[in-house]
Amino acid sequence: MMFLTALPLFWIMIAASRGGHWGAWMPSSISAFEGTCVSIPCRFDFPDELRPAVVHGVWYFNSPYPKNYPPVVFKSRTQVVHESFQGRSRLLGDLGLRNCTLLLSNLSPELGGKYYFRGDLGGYNQYTFSEHSVLDIINTPNIVVPPEVVEGTEVEVSCMVPDNCPELRPELSWLGHDGLGEPAVLGRLREDEGTWVQVSLLHFVPTREANGHRLGCQASFPNTTLQFEGYASLDVKYPPVIVEMNSSVEAIEGSHVSLLCGADSNPPPLLTWMRDGTVLQEAVAESLFLELDEVTPGEDGVYACLAENAYGQDNRTVGLSVMYAPWKPTVNGTVVAVEGETVSILCSTQSNPDPILTIFKEKQILATVIYENELQLELPAVTPEDDGEYWCVAENQYGQRATAFNLSVEFAPVILLESHCAAARDTVQCLCVVKSNPEPSVAFELPSRNVTVNETEREFVYSERSGLLLTSILTLRGQSQAPPRVICTSRNLYGTKSLELPFQGAHRLMWAKIGPVGAVVAFAILIAIVCYITQTRRKKNVTESPGFSAGDNPPVLFSSDFRISGAPEKYESERRLGSERRLLGLRGEPPELDLSYSHSDLGKRPTKDSYTLTEELAEYAEIRVK
């Protein structure tokens, strides 16, 4: 298409081509609206040596060869034409001037086709030109839209209709252009091959809303009822805009989740679901679903949808919150501390929603926090009472988990007040109860006898530990004398503690030592003394009496005569049994230690209280013999 010029290129080519040979020039194609007319411009030439008196010509339809009997459109010699062209065709050009322009009127669709011209100079000087023009009968204006219409970039849309009918001139108007811009009519333009068109232009800046818009152009002919309309849909290219997406999604662990991303763009976008830079799914589509089966806490996070095409891109994100019960709490902090130190214990877990965290000991709440993943427990200046098992419990509406942990408080030994000694018969047992951490060593000291017994001597000491308490028992047998002083000493790496163990029930100690058997022995001794005094007095009386005779002497009495049946044997049996126990170290009973002194150890005569019954009776018998 080119604008009207003063000297059309077509006619310049015709003039330059004059050289005296057969040739014709006409538009290869031409169009016209049905019911109107069309003028097919035509020029021809022949050799210069031919000087015909009259030049005739013939227009054929669809075939250039007369022998094929093609329909005659126009014939200058006879005016005989095919019935389809009767009253519709006439020659506008002057054949003598080598102008063969043809006018066709009242066009109908069947007239569309190829048109050939044949020059007739008389005789054998006839020539059918191979050049021809194709007539196209149309019913709609031609709307020309640029091959690419991009959002935000100004475009020019033109409406073009043929204007090759000298009898009817078209007028153009736009349809459906509201909001797009005001049209501008450029007028009548001449094309390269000598045909004419009527042109109207429309300039506007398209938006994405204009995509698919139906834009029309109407050609009308004044003083007729002829009107022709043509439409074109705008194909506006624009970058993607994500228009459909889930809002924040909450799902319970193990459930199914479907995330949707939909975008508006032209051409359709490439949709991509991503998480942390990893592509999960992609497709060229207007919408894309991301299906997540049996979601886990590991899939909790932010998901991104990216939409892109050749004109741009867009992206949006959606948060997926996976709801789940707390994980088993973990405890990071001091689990061993020295008495007086400050202890800091951190309990942490993970859950959604955030849990209620509680630390307690022996059903007593020590610290708690709501909707937090961490809980700090501070224990300033810990004491042995802080030692023990603690629990950290995390819970939310989806479940509860707990973790136990132990706090070990290390401290110097403490000898408890229940430590004491007690005597029963000839046995003294001393109980020393020590509380400490770490486990202490325990020793029993008898200062009056310069003896120290520690717990490693299991023959004498029995020890048992329960928690922070260490109980040691010292057993002394054969304690007929006054009970010794006993000092319990306990030590560990944090210190040493000593305590003289008190005797419980001291005013009953003597009778506790004597017991039932001792009472019988004491009674026997008392009888022997009474008999001794009585017999001594009788002897004195006999010596002094003149009537004394040997036959009156009483029989000699031995100690065995005063022995109470069973008493000495039982006492000797118990002594032997005690010795056997000390030697054999009987199992199943606390070990016993016999610390009674022998006569040789003391180096002097034992006191009356240390005599055995046998010794008492033997002494009495010796005196009687004397």
The two structure tokens encoding residue 98: 């080598």
Task: Give per-residue pLDDT as tens, 542-581.
Answer: 444 343 333 333 333 333 333 333 333 433 434 433 433 3
Domain ranges of the chain: 23-138, 142-234, 241-321, 330-410, 412-500
Q: Reduced to 3 states, what is the DSSP secondary structure of residue 567? A: helix
Q: Is 470 exposed, middle or buried (0-12, 13-18, 19+ CB in 10 A)?
A: buried
Determine the straight-line distance between the first and last CA of the chain, rounded to whole angstroms: 174
Residues 6 or more apart from 31 whose CB is under 8 A from it?
38, 135, 136, 137, 138, 162, 164
User: Is domain 241-321 in CATH 2.60.40.10, yes or no?
Assistant: yes
Q: What is the pLDDT of residue 522?
A: 53
Residues 6 or more apart from 308 whose CB is under 8 A from it?
239, 240, 269, 270, 272, 314
Task: Give per-residue pLDDT as tens, 493-541.
Answer: 999 999 999 988 644 444 444 444 454 555 566 676 656 666 665 554 4
The two structure tokens encoding residue 391: 């629990």
Average pLDDT over the chain, rounded to whole? Answer: 80
Q: What is the pLDDT of residue 62?
A: 92
Q: Compute the average pLDDT of residues 10-36.
A: 73
How far is Cα 249 from Cα 320, in angstroms, rounded to an integer? 5
CATH topology assigned to domain 412-500: Immunoglobulin-like (2.60.40)
Q: Look up tokens 């005196």; give the residue.
A: 623
pLDDT confidence tier of residue 597, bands split at 50, 70 and 90: very low
Contacts by residues 3-6 (CB-CB < 8 Å, ≥ 24 positions apart): 3/189, 3/190, 4/188, 4/189, 4/190, 5/190
How far is Cα 296 from Cα 321, in angstroms, rounded to an integer? 10
Q: Which residue has the higher pLDDT, 614 or 308?
A: 308
CATH topology assigned to domain 23-138: Immunoglobulin-like (2.60.40)
Q: Which residue has the higher pLDDT, 291 or 553?
A: 291
CB 73 within 8 A of CB 61: yes
Task: Give per-residue pLDDT as tens, 242-279.
Answer: 999 998 899 999 999 999 999 999 999 999 999 999 99
pLDDT confidence tier of residue 187, bands split at 50, 70 and 90: confident
Q: What is the pLDDT of residue 607?
A: 38
3-state secondary structure 219-230: EECCCCCCEEEE
User: Is domain 330-410 in CATH 2.30.110.10, yes or no?
Assistant: no
| Whether the model pTM is above 0.85 | no
Q: Compute the average pLDDT of residues 81-86.
A: 92
Q: In 335-440, at which residue ranges do the beta strands (DSSP E only) sit?
A: 336-338, 343-348, 356-361, 364-370, 374-379, 388-396, 399-415, 420-424, 427-437
pLDDT of 492 strictly over 80: yes
CB 109 within 8 A of CB 34: yes
Q: Which residue has the higher pLDDT, 107 or 4?
A: 107
How far is Cα 134 from Cα 29, in angstroms, rounded to an integer? 4
Q: What is the amino acid identity at position 306?
A: L
Q: Compute the average pLDDT of residues 172-191.
A: 81
R_g of the chain computed on alpha carbons: 68
The two structure tokens encoding residue 18: 């004059």
Q: What is the pLDDT of residue 479?
A: 65
| CATH code assigned to 142-234 | 2.60.40.10
CB 272 within 8 A of CB 311: no
Q: Which residue has the higher pLDDT, 552 or 282?
A: 282
